[in-house]
Structure 1
């Protein structure tokens, strides 16, 4: 079985920020989990390098669009390994292989009768690279996302006959209700479709920074049609000498933020229909990380630098927080204060301290040997069905719900320590068997939750599993010890543990001014 997951490709008009990290981390959690399930995974991310936003940013910086794209693409590439992200390919839309494939697909769209020459005029946001309908304009004449005044644009372009595909799009949404999720986003996209679709500009005549139109060299393709096709074109050259389309297309999951819903949930399936290509299985639309009530945006100046957070707390802490604090799919406020509270209470205390205490008790009371005895049946029962639930939740992109399901068991193991008081059991030789059972149950419980948590906190999970003496770790998600089947309680009880430094060290408070 194969699983193909994508992030949107990110504009190179500015450096990456926490909002970019959010989507990329979510995609990585899915990719890692599906690898643990034994599936053949392809995970794509990259940069969107053409169009007016990039040209304008380059002009403002006094460099060429190519120079700006080269500089910022490297910043986005550098973000992935810092986040412990395991993408299989990083696409740049300036790649010549992508350009060639875009020209081929859009020529097919033209040959199929979905392109015509016409005059376009309307209100335009250069930062969105998007014409806005009257219903999308706010505060008189401003973009609802960037809050800048719109400009009136008029030019002769080639048009994509989107209106011809309205009936097929409505049929798609009726027959495949899971094509767009969550349901609120599906309803939003369907409402846009049913309001009546107009033909849209396929090319731009005033720009030179873009994919040239092969049948008219005076035009370049409108950046969105160039960008959307990256999910398909990447498979034609991601592995030199191989064409991966037969194995991975159509994609199982496109992850996007809600500001690009119209393009991915309306334009994208229409474009594929016009090109006679299979449609992706799902577009999952998540909300915004909000600071001061607004989506994080470089143009608004309200961003958190993921590199700074990682330098202090580590990548795993950031990965955990972003998918723990805000329910994935919804808007949610984030802050440094909330991050530090979550780090202290859950990562350092609930999980890290549980692991440290358990290992130290095994070292102190049993010389590091994990007793091979029957596990506590009551605790085991509370793990029943956990693997299937987490797998189903990740499969439905319910990443926060899956994490909470795992964390319920982390809290249960902590409660078990308090209930059983192994330090008291250790003082009574007649209760040695009880102590054996408690220590073995804790070691196995920690192993199980750590295998499941690996997709979220891979670095620390590997470190802890190593300290638990788990064999078969090889630095990949496909290591035998990480197979999702091994996360069943009692499937692979550790035998010998070694000491471990704190997984999530508590941070020293900043000195008073």
Structure 2
């Protein structure tokens, strides 16, 4: 049976500028989609690249005093280097100056010309150099400024070649209405509105007297192709050319990922060209804009999230935020605070913490060996978790097919929550104190269930976080599994690598110190022009902050005690495993704290006003262990966590270095 084929493309990006966050968003999306469908055993191609012709490139080269070819050669190197840093898995990096692409453009022009769909005529209109096109009346304001780029247009009158878009207008209306160009309802409506306001045909050439940097028309050497009639055919070039587009199974299942700002070109002009060329229509996957604090990113507003910032905090943090926040198609509003909180919650305190807890208990209770399932002794809850893992494979599969990646990530997080809840309810550290066969079986099934969840999460989240999920999978014995077998393994829920020796516990996701990072990125003095450079080691949450002199007002010691008094207090290192707000109290957090061989304890702490639950999880703290249990309205507190005042008048737990051993006594 032949494998299914898919072809994902991003827009090809203008070669007159550097990559920005929007480019990264669309291109990583294609990378994620490619990996996912490979995991399902499909053959997938992924194309990205540069749009290297046109007036904007010609003008930029002139400004720099170099040739257009030299400019685009330099930019191609820069873009590929930047994309490489994000671990992209594209098969093709196309450049519109490539000889085989130039030939393909000429073949396409010749085909449409011979069919009678290209003619010579005169055109007058308002031209936007940034859009590289003439604007309709509804694309300009009352002063004829471009509504997208907020800049003046030029009134131009010239004789060009035109493509008969109007010939295909009715066909396009039917195809758009039937969801055959995009299935995203909001963009179906936008395309129909654009079609209604379409004025005349598409100008597809520029005279050489104005523009020389382009593909020369095969039927008129005094004209070059308009940049969009040169750029859009790159998708056909990527699979080999016109003939391949008519026969290739990849083109029959082609998906163009694009931002909504170029919807008109991809949703009207390109489908019309495809109809003229007698090739199947590709489908559009339209993304929204990345916003910063509710505003479109702009250098003038100073709110641009840079590629350097994304790289500094890592691809995984970016992917988790932008694809978890909402499904592609909607605008995504980035605030640094929510960016970091989502990472800590989903990755550091979620997937990473579950792996650490599970492997630590396997090391402690089973000498590092993954226990087998005792299926006849499984609890109903454990059977339900296994079933949830199996169902999750189908749910994530459907989410990807529906282009709803947020739904996929929500399902993955749900599995992690199920495992965390199971550990909290079953209390394996208590069961481990009972030395008998029955307890050993219970313990084995608890940890085997956690391994099942980790295995499922590792495979389902692999397309989002490939490097980290590879580490996770290998740590639970899923070694050397071909990518095409991933979903087969994920569906076989109870088949874990029992007997595998877990030699190491990887630290997948380091927690980030949110307040420290916000102090760097968003200084309180908004007029401050000094840029703070991040530390070179790029270890999340470890940036050194500038030392400050502090006047302590509460320095007087109120009363002395004897050493015998102090020695009665037993303080140990504990790791906060979970934290939650106490319903009915505006002050208390309920903490589950691991104390190594002493097991886990429940501690109530009155820090809710200053600390969110996710900000304390996975931290090492100081616990007073030998306090008598204190019965409270919400439960029994089995110790006390030490806290202190901060410089800004808040209260914070005393966080300890991660290298300290759980349960170690402080003295």
| TM-score bracket for this pair, using the shorter chain length | over 0.9
Q: Decide whether aligned partners of structure 1 residues 435 and 244 sit closer, same or farther in structure 2, where only a CA change above 3 A counts.
A: farther
Q: Deviations over 1:10-31 (max 9, x none)?
A: 1111110111010011111110
Question: In structure 2, which of residues 447, 466, 472 is the aligned counterpart of residue 439 of structure 1?
Answer: 447
Distance 2:142 2:508 in 1: 49
Distance 2:145 2:301 in 1: 14
TM-score (norm 1): 0.93
* Residue pair 2:236, 2:245 contacting (<8 A) in 1 also: no
* Residue pair 1:19, 1:296 contacting (<8 A) in 2 also: no
* Residue pair 1:6, 1:231 contacting (<8 A) in 2 also: yes
Q: Decide whether aligned partners of structure 1 residues 269 and 153 sit closer, same or farther in structure 2, where only a CA change above 3 A counts.
A: same
- The answer on 1:132 being equivalent to 2:135 is yes
Q: Decide whether aligned partners of structure 1 residues 302 and 54 sit closer, same or farther in structure 2, where only a CA change above 3 A counts.
A: farther
- CA shift, 1:333, in A, is 1.0
Question: In structure 2, which of residues 218, 224, 228 is the aligned counterpart of residue 220 of structure 1?
Answer: 224
Q: Decide whether aligned partners of structure 1 residues 107 and 295 sit closer, same or farther in structure 2, where only a CA change above 3 A counts.
A: farther
Q: Deviations over 1:94-130 (max 9, x none)?
A: 1010000010011100111111111111111101112
* Residue pair 1:235, 1:244 contacting (<8 A) in 2 also: no
- The answer on 1:381 being equivalent to 2:384 is no
Could you tell me which residue of structure 2 aligns to residue 321 of structure 1? 321
Higher mean alpha-carbon deviation, 13-22 vs 165-174, is at: 165-174
- How many residues align structurally? 502
- CA shift, 1:512, in A, is 4.5
- CA shift, 1:347, in A, is 0.9
* Residue pair 2:390, 2:493 contacting (<8 A) in 1 also: no
Question: In structure 2, which of residues 157, 161, 174 is the aligned counterpart of residue 171 of structure 1?
Answer: 174
Could you tell me which residue of structure 2 aligns to residue 186 of structure 1? 188
- CA shift, 1:367, in A, is 1.2
Question: In structure 1, which of residues 222, 225, 231 is the aligned counterpart of residue 235 of structure 2?
Answer: 231
Q: Deviations over 1:299-349 (max 9, x none)?
A: 9764322233323x3322222222122432101211333222212222111
- The answer on 1:264 being equivalent to 2:269 is no
Question: In structure 1, which of residues 496, 505, 510 is the aligned counterpart of residue 510 of structure 2?
Answer: 505
Higher mean alpha-carbon deviation, 341-350 vs 216-225, is at: 341-350
Question: In structure 2, which of residues 70, 82, 87 is the aligned counterpart of residue 67 of structure 1?
Answer: 70
Distance 1:76 1:299 in 2: 24
**Larger of the two Rg values belongs to structure:** 2
* Residue pair 1:105, 1:275 contacting (<8 A) in 2 also: yes
The answer for unaligned runs of 5 or more in structure 1 is none
* Residue pair 1:166, 1:196 contacting (<8 A) in 2 also: no
Distance 1:244 1:86 in 2: 26
Question: In structure 2, which of residues 467, 474, 487 is the aligned counterpart of residue 466 of structure 1?
Answer: 474
- The answer on 1:52 being equivalent to 2:58 is no
* Residue pair 1:50, 1:209 contacting (<8 A) in 2 also: yes
Q: 1:11-30 alignment to 2 at 5 Å?
A: 11-30=14-33
* Residue pair 2:286, 2:328 contacting (<8 A) in 1 also: no
Q: Decide whether aligned partners of structure 1 residues 152 and 509 sit closer, same or farther in structure 2, where only a CA change above 3 A counts.
A: same
TM-score (norm 2): 0.72
Could you tell me which residue of structure 2 aligns to residue 154 of structure 1? 157
Distance 2:305 2:510 in 1: 22
What is the RMSD computed on CA atoms of the aligned residues?
2.1
Secondary structure class of the residue paired with 2:407: helix
Q: Deviations over 1:430-488 (max 9, x none)?
A: 422111110000011111011000000000000111111113246xx33x3x2x12212
The answer for unaligned runs of 5 or more in structure 2 is 512-540, 548-667
Higher mean alpha-carbon deviation, 250-259 vs 201-210, is at: 250-259
Q: Decide whether aligned partners of structure 1 residues 331 and 261 sit closer, same or farther in structure 2, where only a CA change above 3 A counts.
A: same
Q: Decide whether aligned partners of structure 1 residues 102 and 298 sit closer, same or farther in structure 2, where only a CA change above 3 A counts.
A: farther
- CA shift, 1:509, in A, is 5.8
Distance 1:196 1:227 in 2: 21
Could you tell me which residue of structure 2 aligns to residue 209 of structure 1? 213
Higher mean alpha-carbon deviation, 379-388 vs 114-123, is at: 379-388
Could you tell me which residue of structure 1 aligns to residue 13 of structure 2? 10
Could you tell me which residue of structure 2 aligns to residue 339 of structure 1? 339
Secondary structure class of the residue paired with 2:148: coil
Secondary structure class of the residue paired with 2:252: coil
More helix by share: 1
Q: Deviations over 1:168-206 (max 9, x none)?
A: 1112223x3142131100111012223455211010112
Distance 2:54 2:226 in 1: 7
Secondary structure class of the residue paired with 2:238: helix
Distance 2:298 2:234 in 1: 23
Could you tell me which residue of structure 1 aligns to residue 413 of structure 2? 407
Could you tell me which residue of structure 2 aligns to residue 252 of structure 1? 254
Q: Deviations over 1:382-418 (max 9, x none)?
A: 3342111211111121111111121111122122221
Q: Deviations over 1:351-373 (max 9, x none)?
A: 11111111111111101212211
